[in-house]
């Protein structure tokens, strides 16, 4: 049976004949516009590890760190400094590594979470323009903008001053993270990139925080690279802290509820025994008759609180009133 062509395919054949037959048979296939597919490509080689909420949490933390940095820079260099988070994104470590020149310097910060598990250190990269401006102010200069090459190589003195500056700026991360985790950020050292061994796997997931920096007339940026393994420990510690707080809160609420319940009134009934009787016997009962309950006078009695059996005890007398001495708890 021959195939029946649609009107669209017939038009394509006619147009092909007019163009001298240049169009291929593939032109007979209906075109699908990319915007009509309705799906987004997903990279299965590097799936996302952290949700948007977690990245937003990190953004808020480093917003706080940026404000702390501004105050710290003002105190250290006697000049106005402004810092602002401009981006937080998840990447592979090789993307961060490829963006850093061989002569750039990386600073290492260790996070101590009081946990036997240790994550890789946090890496911080300050671009040359900003860092050389800070060094210039330490040496008595004005810290004005300097024209430098991207492959600028630091001198030994500048490396020493670089190390001193970062040792003052990085520990303040503890204040920024204080509301989320109980840990200390310990500055380790700063090293030229080409002399740094591979401390993070090239394919490992990292979160990059980019902070724009303005100090006087100098504009630069500070890049914070947080390893995924370390972030997993951070979020685990954060969740454990939340669970502990929720547990303490539930315990406090239970005590408050119990204190309120303690003032409530409850009915108590004491049951000595029971028996069965025919209707005609009950009808003929009169004052002075005795009913046999089938138990001795020294037997235990049962105490009911709002119709629930709570205690057993023995009958007795207290201040000329009938009383029950609690013997056992049934609840």
Q: Which of 187, 227, 239, 224 has its CA nearest to residue 62?
A: 224
Highest mean pLDDT among 152-161, 236-245, 283-292: 152-161
Categorize the per-residue pLDDT at 124 as very low, low, confident or very high, splitting at 50, 70 and 90. Answer: very high
Structural contact between residues 64 and 176, judged by C-beta atoms closer than 8 angstroms: yes
Structural contact between residues 185 and 110, judged by C-beta atoms closer than 8 angstroms: yes
Residue 59 in this model has a pLDDT that exceeds 90: yes
Query: Is residue 9 helix, strand or coil?
Result: helix
Report the C-alpha gap between 88 and 198 in whole angstroms: 23
Q: Which residue has the tokens 């990269």?
A: 125
pLDDT in tens, 178-201: 888 888 889 999 999 877 777 788
Question: What backbone phi and psi angles, to 5 degrees, belong to 253?
Answer: -65, -40
Categorize the per-residue pLDDT at 207 as very low, low, confident or very high, splitting at 50, 70 and 90. Answer: very high
Question: What backbone phi and psi angles, to 5 degrees, belong to 317?
Answer: -130, 135
Read off the pLDDT of each residue in 132-143 and give the average, rounded to a whole number.
83
CATH fold for domain 52-243: Chemotaxis protein chec (3.40.1550)
pLDDT in tens, 223-273: 999 998 888 888 887 777 777 666 655 566 767 777 777 777 888 888 877
Q: Which parts of 193-271 are beta strand (E)? A: 205-215, 218-227, 268-271
Mean pLDDT of the chain: 81
CA-only gyration radius of the chain, Å: 40
pLDDT in tens, 75-97: 888 887 889 999 999 998 888 98
> Token digits for 95?
């993307």
* Residue 178 per-residue DSSP state: T
Categorize the per-residue pLDDT at 222 as very low, low, confident or very high, splitting at 50, 70 and 90. Answer: very high
**Domain boundary assignment for the chain:** 52-243, 268-286+298-329
Structural contact between residues 270 and 305, judged by C-beta atoms closer than 8 angstroms: no
Report the C-alpha gap between 145 and 32 in whole angstroms: 53
CA dihedral in degrees (234, 239, 245, 248; nearest 10)?
Answer: -130
Can you give the pLDDT at residue 26?
A: 47
Residue 42 in this model has a pLDDT that exceeds 90: no
pTM: 0.60
Question: What backbone phi and psi angles, to 5 degrees, belong to 287?
Answer: -60, 130
Categorize the per-residue pLDDT at 3 as very low, low, confident or very high, splitting at 50, 70 and 90. Answer: low
């Amino acid at each position: 049976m021959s195939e029946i062509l649609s009107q669209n395919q017939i038009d394509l054949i006619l147009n092909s004949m007019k163009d001298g037959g240049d169009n291929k048979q593939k032109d007979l296939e209906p075109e699908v516009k990319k915007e009509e597919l309705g799906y987004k490509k997903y990279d299965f080689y590097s799936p996302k590890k952290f949700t948007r909420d977690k990245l937003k949490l990190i953004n808020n933390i480093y917003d706080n760190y940026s404000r702390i940095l501004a105050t710290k820079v003002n105190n250290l260099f006697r000049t106005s400094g402004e810092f602002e988070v401009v981006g937080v994104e998840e990447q592979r470590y090789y993307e961060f590594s490829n963006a850093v020149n061989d002569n750039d310097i990386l600073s290492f910060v260790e996070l101590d979470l009081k946990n036997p598990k240790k994550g890789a250190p946090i890496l911080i990269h300050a671009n040359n323009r900003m860092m050389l401006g800070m060094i210039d102010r330490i040496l008595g200069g004005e810290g004005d903008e300097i024209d430098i090459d991207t492959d600028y190589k630091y001198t030994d003195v500048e490396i020493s001053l670089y190390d001193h500056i970062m040792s003052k700026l990085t520990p303040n991360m503890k204040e920024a993270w204080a509301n989320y985790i109980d840990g200390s950020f310990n500055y380790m050292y700063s090293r030229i990139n080409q002399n740094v061994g591979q401390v993070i796997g090239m394919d490992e997931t990292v979160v990059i925080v980019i902070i724009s920096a303005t100090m006087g007339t100098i504009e630069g940026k500070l890049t914070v690279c947080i390893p995924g393994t370390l972030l997993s420990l951070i979020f685990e510690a954060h969740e454990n802290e939340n669970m502990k707080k929720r547990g303490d809160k539930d315990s406090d609420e239970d005590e408050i509820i119990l204190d309120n319940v303690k003032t409530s009134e409850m009915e108590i009934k004491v049951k000595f025994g029971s028996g069965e009787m025919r209707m005609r016997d009950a009808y003929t009962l009169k004052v002075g008759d005795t009913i046999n309950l089938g138990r001795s006078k020294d037997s235990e009695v049962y105490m009911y609180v709002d119709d629930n059996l709570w205690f057993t005890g023995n009958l007795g007398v207290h201040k000329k009133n009938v009383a029950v001495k609690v013997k056992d708890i049934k609840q």
